[in-house]
Structure 1
Amino acid sequence: MTQIVKSKIDQACRVAEEFTKLYYETSDKRRHLMSKLYLDSGLLAWNGNGVNGNERIQKFFIDLPTSDHIINTLDAQPVLDSAVNGQLTFMIQVSGTVRYQDRVPKSFQQNFIITAQGDKWKIVSDCFRLQEPLTNDKS
């Protein structure tokens, strides 16, 4: 592995830790600031519901019940320069548990693609899915 690739992987891991800490603190405690985390044209797929544009995404989050996220796993990797025209971009994968209001906590999986915009990281794409068992109902 070249030193450049190793450096980008190390950077992706550092950025993922900082970014996810900010993301989940904002989601759980400061939802009125969620739009600042997304590109103007950002895309959110939340349990199969698609929302695009940072202002619509913010309204979507404000309408959700209060939440408390706990991260169990975190992984990140750089996206190849050739795929993003050299724009510094990372893919982040998160799993954990989330409790909405006083409901039972549920497992979730979330994938982000974030890109550098000046000295800030912005979400290009965000895919969130609660992990619910498939039913074997064959009636």
Structure 2
Amino acid sequence: MNDTKSRIDQACRVAEDFTKLYYDTLDKRRHIINKLYLETGVLSWNGNGVIGSKKIVKFLMDLPGTDHTITTLDSQPILDSAVNGQTTLMIQVTGTVKYQDKSPKTFQQNFIVTAQGDKWKTVSDCFRLQEPLTPKN
């Protein structure tokens, strides 16, 4: 039981540190965001799929400048049996993003991150703007 609690505590600490670094890098130093992804990392951004850290940084560099504000943050460890004992976490984030001079939009982002030495690298990243559904007549 103590091991489970310590892994959950670690997941919470890592989530706070990782998301602060991630959004700070995305908003202010986007050109080095590839350092936060595995070389084989996967990004799904509003339905656009990108594979590989070099292609991910190119995709993100083509987006307008951003300013993210985090509203909620949650994290949990992924079972060892699912990831062959590799320390891996799922991080869920919600917040608002402001693109240049446009009004803020709500977003949700899910990360799967894995330990690589003393660094955390993104295995999978799924970003989605939270647009209201429009009724169909």
For 1:30-78, what per-residue CA distance to the aligned partner results, in whole angstroms no more than 9, with x for missing partners? 0010111000000000000000100000001110000000000000000
Matched, 1:29 2:34: no
Paired residue total: 137
| TM score, norm. by length of structure 1 | 0.98
Query: What amino acid maps onto 2:119 in structure 1?
Result: K
* Displacement after TM superposition at 1:137 (Å): 2.3
Residues in 1 aligned to 2:11 and 2:56: alpha-carbon distance in whole angstroms: 25
What corresponds to 1:94 in structure 2? 93
Residues in 1 aligned to 2:115 and 2:45: alpha-carbon distance in whole angstroms: 23
> Aligned to 2:32, what secondary structure does the other structure show?
helix
| TM score, norm. by length of structure 2 | 0.99
> Aligned to 1:134, what secondary structure does the other structure show?
coil
Give the CA RMSD over aligned residues. Answer: 0.4
Gapped regions of structure 1 (runs ≥ 5): none
Query: What amino acid maps onto 1:66 in structure 2?
Result: G
Identity of aligned residues (%): 71
For 1:90-109, what per-residue CA distance to the aligned partner results, in whole angstroms no more than 9, with x for missing partners? 00000000000100100000
Gapped regions of structure 2 (runs ≥ 5): none
What corresponds to 1:105 in structure 2? 104
Query: What amino acid maps onto 1:113 in structure 2?
Result: I
Query: What amino acid maps onto 2:46 in structure 1?
Result: N
Question: How do 1:124-139 and structure 2 match up within 5 A?
Answer: 124-138=123-137
Matched, 1:50 2:67: no
Residues in 1 aligned to 2:112 and 2:15: alpha-carbon distance in whole angstroms: 10
Misfit runs of 4+, over 4 Å:
none
